[in-house]
């Protein structure tokens, strides 16, 4: 059987993880929207592996 101390430790650990996840989700989801002009695409790098395929 679990003792009272084990229940306390389990509840504290589960509540701390849930609090951290909730805080992180709130921070990410409350960011302002990003305009499409602000997004940067990948660099145009020619690797020359698609021009002469066998």
Long-range pairs, 20-27, Cβ under 8 A, ≥24: none
Rounded CA separation 35/4 (Å)? 52
pLDDT for 9-36, tens place per residue?
Answer: 999 999 999 999 999 999 999 988 877 7
Q: Tell me, what's the pLDDT at 39?
A: 65
**pTM beyond cutoff 0.75:** no
Convert 15-37 to b/e letters by CB count within 10 Å (16 or more is b): eeeeeeeeeeeeeeeeeeeeeee
Number of residues that this document lists for the chain: 54
């Amino acid at each position: 059987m679990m003792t009272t101390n084990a229940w306390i430790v389990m509840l504290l650990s589960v509540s701390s993880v849930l609090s951290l996840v909730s805080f992180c989700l709130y921070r990410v989801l409350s960011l302002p929207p990003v305009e499409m002009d602000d997004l940067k695409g990948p660099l145009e790098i020619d690797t020359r592996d698609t021009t002469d395929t066998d």
